[in-house]
Homo-oligomer: A and B are copies of this chain.
Amino acid sequence: MHFEILKTQGKARAGILHTPHGPIPTPVFAPVGTQATVKAVLPRDLREIGASLVLANTYHLHLRPGDALIRDLGGLHQFMAWPGPILTDSGGFQVFSLTQINKIDEDGVTFRSHIDGSTHRLTPEASIRIQENLGADIIMCFDQCPIPKDRTVVEPAVRRTMDWAARCRETHPDDSQQALFGIVQGGIFEDQRARSADFLRTLDFPGYAIGGLAVGESKSEMYATLDFTVPMLPADKPRYLMGVGEPDDLIQAVMRGVDIFDCVIPTRIARHGSALTRNGRINMRNREYTSADIPLDEGCTCYTCQHFTRAYLRHLVRARELLAYTLLSIHNIHFLVQHMQAMRDAILAGSDLAVYRDTFLQQYMG
């Protein structure tokens, strides 16, 4: 994997992340395909939308259908028929957020499956082995993601994440085609982020993620944390802000130097009947769209907006038709992909990102 920075503007960068499954233009937003499918969207439509990177979840795929099965079927790309780049997370987040019973020790985490209650164990070595079976282009170190504002839980989580990162680095072959990223933890505390980042830098990862944000802290706390954390990371390596995808957060983080994002927002809110538009988020159940003979977003070039009215989408949502989730997901992912593309274009063209940010936020936040 090779990261090429084409141009910068302040802290923001426009680049290309070259992977075994093709280039990823950055900054980039990755839709989430939790169970080896971006919910309700065909791979062909993802391509047409302009998505270049898709995320899949190690925790889910390990439990069902099993990572060894996916390996035997040719790996995740072939299994889900997504020929482009894939990133897998480590499972560290889900073993705590999705399971009701879990127990952490120095070696790893024992937990009960949210599907059938069966007992499983993840360790740094196991997470890497699973991710090697899945075969994603970018894989992540097994980490512990603590509540970001409680120093007494953040400190031991940082220490454990450092220890586990070293074990992940050690167990993953140096000559692998899969690029292993380190994850900086530390909550909202500058000294903890520095401690985490300084250690990870000594391990020389091909990319660095910022974990443990957008999990309970305020937006201003998140931005402040980015302000001091991003400069702790190597300038020539890609930077990935995990789990962040609100349109306003994306522009704020790009301007603070982040290159890669993922989030379930576009597909999750689609299943709740909501759409992202330049004028903010709208819910299609709203009565005012009953006879609205206009697309979700005027001027949008996605398949949904090119063919369907708000009135039709409202009808589908009210009738609980599956097509509603497909059409809203297509639009919402397209919206975020276009948003990233606009930022990239601005950086490459040398036009002021702050102007784009102010115009976008004024319209989006109302």
Contact = CB atoms under 8 A, between A and B. Distances in A.
A313 B309 CA distance: 32
A291 B72 contact: yes
A39 B315 contact: no
Contact of A303 (B42, B316, B321): B42
A318 interface: yes
A141 interface: no
Contact of A290 (B36, B69, B80, B321): B69
A42 B326 contact: yes
Contacts of A290: 65, 69
A310 B222 CA distance: 44
Nearest to A307: B81
Interface in A34-93: 35-37, 39-45, 64-65, 69, 72-74, 79-81
A323 B64 contact: no
A308 interface: yes
Interface string A300-320: 000100011101101110110
Contact of A37 (B43, B72, B321): B321
Interface in A274-303: 290-291, 293, 303
B40 A322 contact: yes
A164 interface: no
A325 interface: yes
A321 B319 CA distance: 19
Nearest to A36: B315
Contact of A326 (B307, B311, B318, B322): B322
A309 B326 CA distance: 22
A79 to B, nearest CB: 6
A300 to B, nearest CB: 15
Contacts of A319: 35, 64
A79 B316 CA distance: 11
A289 to B, nearest CB: 11
A41 B81 CA distance: 18
Given A80-B312, A322-B322, 5 more contacts: A35-B315, A39-B322, A39-B323, A64-B319, A65-B290
20 contacts: A35-B321, A36-B315, A37-B321, A39-B321, A40-B326, A41-B323, A42-B303, A44-B303, A64-B315, A64-B319, A65-B290, A65-B311, A65-B315, A69-B290, A69-B291, A69-B311, A72-B291, A73-B309, A73-B311, A73-B312
Rank and list the top 4 A-B pairs by shortest CB-CB distance, nearest first: A40-B322, A81-B307, A65-B315, A37-B323
